[in-house]
Amino acid sequence: MTTGSQTFGIAIPENWMEYDLGGDTLAERRAEMLRQTPDKPTRDAVNQAFRNARRIMEGARRRGAVYAAGTTTMYEDGLLMAGLMIFSITPPPGEDFSAHGLAKQFSASGDRKGEGTARTFTTETLPGTGPVGRLVGIEESEITDGVSYKLVVMHTVVPVPDSRRVLIITCFSPNLPVADQLYDLFDAITGTFAFGDQAPVVAAR
């Protein structure tokens, strides 16, 4: 993948797939899951999950997303949906350029409803890039007036070398009951990110 003159890569799990930001891949995956789902309650859950995912994708395109990937998998105890998007942004002059400031402004859907559950900011070190800022927690967004949903999120702010631009790696999932496991997964995926020759070329395991 490229952003400006910089190439970068990130390894995703083998059961994840890359999405086109236009939404065609999501539509194909939704149709595939509905063919495999005979009972109405589960079909309704699948349809709702994909409606939310499409909303997130639409917001991502508007905010400068350059890459998207994710998984939608049916397990015995329910549907797991998780995703990752990478945004390339250049903060306007005068705006807070710090990783903390940028992460606070970001949300997975692009339309956060209030602050919801507190998000926690930390500084981490990615093996392929060095120090980065990270914001984790729960975000609440409105689907329509009065109807909201919550997402487990992890935003990682990565400075682009020799540039004012930054990349924001956003991982998210609506599966709140397994938040701790998701944070571990998101950390492992984000840890593979690198620029140039160090960028990964195989899926993470």
Query: 122-128, long-range: CB within 8 Å, 24+ apart, which pairs?
Result: 123/99, 124/156, 126/156, 126/158, 126/190, 126/191, 126/193, 126/194, 127/191, 127/194, 128/192, 128/193, 128/194, 128/195, 128/198, 128/199
43-71: per-residue pLDDT in tens? 777 777 777 667 766 666 666 788 888 88
pLDDT score for 97: 66
Q: Provide the pLDDT for residue 205.
A: 29
Q: What is the mean pLDDT of the chain?
A: 78
Position 192 scores a pLDDT of 93
Quickly list DSSP for 58-107. HHHHHTTEEEEEEEEEEETTEEEEEEEEEEEE-PPTTS--SHHHHHHH--
8 Å CB contact between 129 and 48: no
Q: What's the pTM value of the predicted model, to 2 decimals?
A: 0.77
Q: What percent of the chain has pLDDT over 90?
A: 25
- Domains by residue range for the chain, with CATH: 7-192 (3.40.1000.10)
Residue 201 has pLDDT above 50, yes or no: no
